[in-house]
A = this chain, B = another copy of it.
Amino acid sequence: MPGPIRNAARTRARILKIATSEFATKSFDGARVDRIAARARVNKHMLYHYFGSKEGLFTAVLEEMYGSIRDSQQEMSLAELPPEEALRQLIVQTHEVILAHPEFIGLLNSENLMKARHIRESAMIRQLYDPLIPGLRAILERGAEAGVFRAGIDPVDLYVSIGSLCFHAISNQHTLKAIFDVDLTSKAALERRLDHVTQMILAYCRAEFGSASQPAPPQRLSAIGN
Q: How far is the CB of A105 from chain B (nearest CB, A)?
A: 10
Does A203 touch B at the CB level, under 8 Å? yes
> Would you call A185 an interface residue if the criterion is a C-beta within 8 Å of the partner chain's C-beta atoms?
no
A1 at the interface (CB under 8 A from B): no
Shortest distance from the beta carbon of A211 to any chain B beta carbon, whole Å: 9
Q: Contact between A174 and B112 (Cβ–Cβ < 8 Å)?
A: yes
Among A8-16, A44-52, A159-167, the stretch that binds chain B is: A159-167
Contacting pair B195 A217 (CB below 8 A): yes
Give residues 166-196 of A contacting B (CB, 8 Å).
167-169, 171-180, 182, 184, 191-196
User: Which chain B positions have C-beta within 8 A of A201?
Assistant: 200
Question: Are A174's CB and B116's CB within 8 A?
Answer: yes
Question: DSSP class of A's interface residues: helix, strand, loop or mixed?
Answer: helix
Would you call A20 an interface residue if the criterion is a C-beta within 8 Å of the partner chain's C-beta atoms?
Answer: no
Question: CB within 8 A of A203: which of B109, B182, B213?
Answer: B213
The listed residue (B29, B159, B195, B199) touching A29 by CB distance below 8 A is B29
Q: Compute how far the CA of A180 lies from the CA of B160 in the bound complex, rounded to whole angstroms.
A: 10
Complex CA–CA separation, A119 to B85 (angstroms): 41
Residues of B contacting A184 in the complex (Cβ-Cβ under 8 angstroms): 160
Contact B175 A169 (CB under 8 A): no
Contacts of A116 in B (CB 8 A): 174-175, 177-178
Q: Shortest Cβ distance from A197 into chain B, in angstroms?
A: 8
Cβ B168 vs Cβ A160 within 8 A: yes
Task: Give the nearest-CB partner of A206 in chain B.
Answer: B212
Could you jot down 20 A-B contacts, CB within 8 Å?
A: A29-B30, A81-B224, A108-B175, A109-B109, A109-B171, A112-B172, A148-B212, A156-B182, A160-B184, A161-B196, A161-B197, A161-B200, A163-B168, A164-B165, A164-B168, A191-B220, A194-B221, A199-B204, A202-B213, A203-B206
